[in-house]
Amino acid sequence: MRTSRFRRTVVATAAVALLGLPASAVASHTVVRATSNDTWAESYNHIRPGSRVVWKNPAALGDTHDLTAYGSNWNKSVTLQAGDQTAKTFRRTGTYRYRCRLHSTKRPGEQCRGMCGVIHVARY
């Protein structure tokens, strides 16, 4: 799997070089999964503008989670039953924070604790 991901990256990079686009123009597809420890894996993701993030709540875990945006730059509030997923394509650079309201705490002015995550969108 490591090799195929590397090969895909090489192919994508070569295609971009042929098109004369900067490497940073390559959009990606990122999967964030709820874990049995009530965390997001990975909880921090760095992506390029135009990339799609899919949050999955694996059916095998049998738990309910929630995906709620916090901060003032985006909105999302979705309940994820076991087996559910939701997605968003991030077109603008920025830092997008989210949490599961069932498994985290967030008080005004304090950091989120528990099942919290960050999507960082930047061109480099």
Query: Is the bond leading into 42 cis (omega within 30 degrees of zero)?
Result: yes
Does 82 bind Cu ion (CB under 5 A)? Our answer is no
30 or 64: CB nearest Cu ion: 64
By CB under 5 A, name the one of 47, 53, 115, 116 that touches Cu ion. Answer: 115
88 or 103: CB nearest Cu ion: 103
Whether residue 119 contacts residue 99, with contact meaning beta carbons closer than 8 Å, is answered with no
By CB under 5 A, name the one of 45, 65, 70, 88 that touches Cu ion. Answer: 65
CA distances to 4, 47, 92 from 33, rounded to whole Å, are 21, 16, 23
In this structure, the chain runs to a length of 124
Does 103 bind Cu ion (CB under 5 A)? Our answer is yes
Instruction: Tell me how far, at minimum, the Cβ of 96 lies from Cu ion, in Å.
Output: 18
- Across the chain, how many H-helices and E-strands are there? 1, 9
Which residues contribute to the site for Cu ion (CB under 5 A)?
65, 100, 102-103, 115
